[in-house]
Amino acid sequence: MANKKVLPLTDTEIKNAKPKEKKYTLSDGNGLQLVIKPDGKKIWEIRFTVDGKPKTTTAGAYPSVSLKDARIKRDDFKSKASIGIDPIKERKEIKATIKAIEQESLNTFKQCAIDYFELRRSKISEGHFNKQWGRLESNVNPYIGETLMNDISRDEIMACLTRIQDRGAIEEGHRVYNLISQVYQYATANRRCERNTAADISPKWMLIPATKSNYPTITDPNKIGTLLNVIDGYQGQYTVRCALQVMPYLALRPRNIRAMEWSEVDFDKKILTIKADKMKMNREHLVPLTDRVLDILRELHKLTGTGQYCFGASRTRNSPLSENTLRAALIRLDYTNEEIVPHGFRAMFTTIAEEKIPEHGFNSDVIEKCTAHEPKNKVRAAYNRAEYWDQRVALMQWWADFLDKTKG
């Protein structure tokens, strides 16, 4: 008996096909059929033969894949099968290639750096985060950012570092190297590259040595007294004078002085609470306020107390002093950058406090806490969680008394 001729399907026939208790098929002929499942789903199947072996694969669901598109896929599959190409195997290989390409795109230096920095974001302040990321964006990403970590050579990394040091930024070159090395450590640990290429570079032998330079400061008591009296006589902007007056007593980073907010000052408890996102290590920092500082702030509050910032800029009380304002004020007082800079007041406190430990009786841990520094010894830092609050209050009062005595 002759085989019954299969009539091609129509869209109407497909639309009207209802689900049954068991799945069944509607044939379109030449290896294409539609499977109607009990749940009502309609799936295209293509049957073909490669090297004498029967194969079956799906070609999508109706109506997402129309009857016309299903026939095109069938003809394409059968055409390839006729010349010995297995379209199923070919499709898997294409998917694997696309996946490999997508995976590789995740393993470029820039993408690995982005992911590494996101892990660090919660551990450092926003300002510190932006500064470090800016180093990579300016010095590294334009040159090797789109290159796969595995494909970056030692010479390409060195070219980035040499480019930095050639413009005289010696210390910057070392900092950028440390960042590159950290990204590689992250990538190798997460199997996003095979080895740490940055480890092939020895900063000691391959980079210009970075000379450690401390912030210029004044430690002679007589000269400190002269400086404080000169500050008291500052004839410029009143808020700038107040900022200069409290800076020696608080031993804070200049940006923490400039961005000090009234909401952070508790006059009754005599505490300044600096928010975590303003601190380098992204941790809230409490500062004891001595009577000398409180007197200055109370007078200042009469002028800027309705605004956000204690030392508000002249045009608006809701923006802090600019970055160079305090340094410019010291220059106006005839103190050069070689004599003292705003950051130098921290060095003044640390140097003298360390020298006079026998006098005030507080150890280096207390001094470090006052300046929000972490111990360089990581093991020591892990166990040294004491806040030393009472000792810090006493030490900062000793420091205030010391400064007041220098003024005569």
What's the pLDDT at 382?
A: 41
Give pTM, 2 decimals. 0.53
- What angle, rounded to 10 degrees, do the helices at 170-189 and 109-120 form? 90
Q: CB–CB of 396/271 below 8 Å?
A: no
3 state DSSP class of 343: coil
pLDDT band at 116; cut points 50, 70, 90: very high
Percentages of the chain per state (helix, strand, coil), in multiples of 5: 55, 10, 35
Q: Which CATH architecture has domain 11-90?
A: 2-Layer Sandwich (3.30)
The ranges assigned to domains in the chain are 11-90, 109-206, 221-406
Q: Which of 244, 243, 271 is nearest to 259 (CA)?
A: 243
Whether 101 has a pLDDT exceeding 70, the answer reads no
The pLDDT tens digits for 332-390 are 999 998 899 999 999 999 999 999 999 999 998 899 888 886 554 444 444 344 478 99
C-beta pairs of 239-242 under 8 Å, 24+ apart in sequence = 239/300, 239/303, 239/304, 239/310, 239/311, 239/312, 239/313, 239/314, 239/321, 240/311, 240/321, 240/325, 240/326, 240/329, 241/329, 242/296, 242/297, 242/299, 242/300, 242/310, 242/311
The pLDDT tens digits for 266-302 are 999 999 998 887 886 677 889 999 999 999 999 999 9
CATH numeric code, 109-206: 1.10.150.130
Region 109-115: what's the mean pLDDT?
93
Query: Phi and psi (nearest 5°) for 48?
Result: -155, 175
What's the pLDDT at 384?
A: 44
Which secondary-structure segment (H or E) carries 40?
none
The pLDDT tens digits for 194-218 are 899 999 998 888 888 866 557 889 9
Q: CB–CB of 224/217 below 8 Å?
A: no
CATH numeric code, 221-406: 1.10.443.10
Write the CB contacts of 49 (distance below 8 Å, at least 6 apart in sequence): 55, 81
At residue 9, what is the residue type? L
> Per DSSP, what are the bridge partners of residue 108?
148
